[in-house]
Each structure stands twice: as C-alpha cells, then as structure tokens.
C-alpha cells in the first residue's frame, strides 16, 4: 500500500498528551505541510500561530472550555470512549487537553472559504504529524479561546490583524506514555453513492 494511504488509515485524534515537546525539525515539517495545503484561489490567507508556552495554552484552553457549550455525551452518543473529549467528560477543564504545542489557524473575516482553507491546512498538518510519529487533534470554533479580556490581550500580543479571526486550533504532541494508539472504527456502509 502507498505510504500516504497508510498514513491516512493510521491517523487518529489524540486527546491525552505527554508533556514532551515536539522537536523543532518535526514541527517545521508539519508547518510546511500546512503552508502547502490547497487554498481557495491560491490566496494563502491562513495564518499559523504556534504557541508552545504552557501557561498561555492552558489559560486559553480553559477559556475555550468555559465558552464551549457542547451537548454532553450520552451512553449512545459520544465522541470517544478511548480518549474522552470535553463533550464526553465534564471534568476536563482544558479544551486543549494539555497539548504542549497549540497552533491556532487564523483567516480573514468575511472570506467565503476561510473555514475550508483552515480545514485543509489542518488535515495536511495532521497527516504530516502522524507520518512523523507525533499526535494531533483538530479543535473547531477557535474564536471561543479568545472570548474574554485575556484572550483579547493575547491577540494583541501576537499581533493578529483585526481583520482575521481564529477559525480552529490544532493540538500537537506525543500520546501520553502508556496509551495505545487509538483504534479505528469500522467504516459505515452505504456512504459512497455512484451515479
């Protein structure tokens, strides 16, 4: 099987991270994968803000959790039993799951395809991370992490243009020691319709 296909089939979301930081050369390759993602009209409008400051990541993750209102999981409707999400476990207070690296993807406000541009960049980076032995988790609704005075202060500190907004975060790190790689769920039948 082709190596790209092997990576696609192997990649899983990681929500329990070891505190070991990703080496710089690995991070650079992951970011390069994001920079080479498709973008609508070739605009390349996505900004990638890499934060490896544990204190900032923890505080923004807690703000995001406080501003997130997920429908909490039930016995039959949940995100993950192996690695619970903030929707699965109300005791989780950090929406970034203590990941050592958090990349926030910003895009121009009002641009029709801003979320799509960010999503394909995140997918490229998640595949690159898996191929390089790192774990990742995509977190939507990025703006909720900045929805208080501290978050606004961080946006100024990071010099984010006022015409951009946080679309999502991508968490990077290594799975917590002792955790097995999450298993894949069987693919549902009937999702491909040929006409």
Whole-number Å distance between alpha carbons of 90 and 92: 5
pLDDT tens for the chain, residues 1 to 195:
899 999 999 999 999 999 999 999 999 999 999 999 999 999 999 999 999 999 999 999 999 998 887 666 777 777 877 777 887 888 888 999 999 999 999 999 999 999 999 999 999 999 999 999 999 999 999 999 999 999 999 999 999 999 999 999 999 999 998 888 888 888 899 999 999
Give which of 6, 12, 20 is closest to 138, Cα–Cα: 12
Pairing verdict, β 135-139 and 101-108: unpaired
Query: Residue 108 pairs with which residues in a beta bridge?
Result: 164
Q: What pLDDT sits at residue 49?
A: 98
CA torsion angle for 139, 107, 61, 136 (degrees, to 10)?
40
Q: What pLDDT sits at residue 71?
A: 67
Whole-number Å distance between alpha carbons of 46 and 39: 9
Q: What pLDDT sits at residue 19?
A: 93
Whole-number Å distance between alpha carbons of 165 and 109: 6
Q: What pLDDT sits at residue 54?
A: 97
Q: Which two tokens stand for residue 121?
A: 């960049």
Q: What pLDDT sits at residue 89?
A: 81
Count the Cβ atoms, other than its own, within 10 Å of residue 194. 3
Q: Which two tokens stand for residue 138?
A: 């995509």
């Amino acid at each position: 099987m082709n190596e790209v296909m092997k990576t696609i089939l192997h990649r899983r979301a990681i929500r329990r991270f070891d505190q070991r930081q990703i080496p710089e050369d690995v991070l650079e390759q992951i970011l390069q994968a994001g920079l080479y993602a498709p973008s609508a009209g070739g605009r390349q409008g996505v900004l990638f803000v890499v934060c490896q400051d544990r204190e900032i990541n923890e505080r923004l993750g807690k703000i995001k959790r406080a501003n997130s209102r997920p429908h909490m999981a039930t016995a039959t409707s949940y995100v993950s039993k192996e690695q619970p999400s903030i929707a699965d476990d109300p005791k989780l207070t950090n929406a970034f799951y203590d990941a050592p690296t958090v990349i926030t993807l910003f895009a121009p406000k009002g641009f029709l395809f801003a979320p799509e541009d960010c999503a394909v960049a995140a997918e490229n980076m998640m595949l690159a991370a898996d191929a390089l032995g790192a774990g990742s988790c995509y977190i939507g609704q990025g703006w909720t992490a900045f929805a208080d005075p501290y978050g606004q202060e961080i946006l100024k500190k990071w010099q984010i243009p006022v015409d951009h907004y946080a679309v999502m975060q991508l968490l990077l790190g290594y799975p917590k020691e002792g955790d097995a790689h999450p298993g894949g769920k069987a693919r549902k039948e009937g999702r491909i319709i040929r006409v």
